[in-house]
Amino acid sequence: MDSRRDFLQKITGSVIALNLPRYSNAKDIFNNSYNGPVLRVAIMGLGSYATRVADAMQTCTKAKLVGVISGTPSKITAWQSKYNIPAGNCYNYSNFGNIKNNPDIDAVYVITPNGLHREHVMGVAKAGKHAICEKPMAVNAKEGQDMIDACKAANVKLLVGYRMHFEPKTLEIIRMRKSGELGKVLFFQGLSGFVIGDPTQWRLNKKLSGGGSMMDIGIYSINGSRYMIGEEPVWVTAQETKNNHEKFKEGIDETIQFQLGFPGGAVASCLSTYSMNNLDRFFVNAENGFAELMPATGYGPIEGRTNNGELNYPHVTHQTVQMDEMAGIILQGNKPIVPVDGEEALKDLKIIDAIFLAAKTGKKIDLK
């Protein structure tokens, strides 16, 4: 049975074995000795999260920001100056299909509103470029399947921005579960929420977001329940609470509590909300121990503990690790411990569809 010390040694000494960044302290993630292939990325949608990704990519070794796609000319100009983007690698939403003729761009990271993901990813695939899409991949499972099919037909990869799949403390708990140290997992709790601000923002527009808190923060608890328990749920129940009907219009969920049942007998109890702060916690209870992350999914640092004590791994910028690891997946065929492909994202979308149905009907929805 592997010890925590063994696991850290694997992280620091065997990228091949675990497909993790090689680091023993935070700065080692930026290993300047790397001389392999580099993934040249254009970012589509230049909002606040795109800026976070772009800043993080400045210290990547396997991925490089080389292009932008935006509907706002002033943003393109600003990004050109800040990130040294060549004019020939700048596009708008009308002409981005022309990237098919640009050999200097390998992949496009779509960071536009959820409701535009299908259109934009399918456009990227049509242009023959690999697609990285922010989560949720689409607004429902049907659209997600369309995106998967389009990328397969174009023979390009489709990855989704599951940055937590590369986070060391998260991966340590997964290792403990896989190794049997925790014993049989019995229960998972996922709390995901915050108080959302500006009522005019796109996240509160059903056409652009596809929903409310569930399509934004709630997906973390859905995805987390699956990789922490290590199984796919077979049923779901859900209850919606809405107190502010003016801010949260029809189709925009304010708060949803949902429960998932797993084939091995474990259950998950989760909450997704746009009306409460201080909710970013994962808790796993098992026969031989427990594990907790709090905060569990924020930009960091993640804090964790198990029945063995505190989890002590250096914090590295999530998006830097994500983009380097995705470059390895696309260019070198690396296999991550937890998948980040379109099929993985489709599983979450199917559960989200079922949660909305359960909340609407009050029925227990069979996922099998």
CB contact at 8 A, 57 and 41: yes
SS3 84: coil
Distance CA 184, CA 194 (A): 31
Residue with tokens 């140290």: 181
* Beta-sheet pairing, 185-195 with 267-273: parallel
Which parts of 205-274 are beta strand (E)?
235-241, 255-261, 267-273
DSSP string, 50-75: HHHHHHHHTT-SSEEEEEEE-S-HHH
Q: Which of 23, 91, 109, 220 is catalytic?
A: 220
Phi then psi for residue 321, to 5 deg, are: -60, -45
SS3 325: helix
The helix (H) or strand (E) run that includes residue 132 is strand 130-133
Q: Distance between the two ends of the chain, CA-based, in angstroms?
A: 33
State yes or no: is 220 an active-site residue. Answer: yes
Q: Which of 62, 129, 135, 347 is catalytic?
A: 135
Indicate which residues carry an active-site annotation: 135, 220
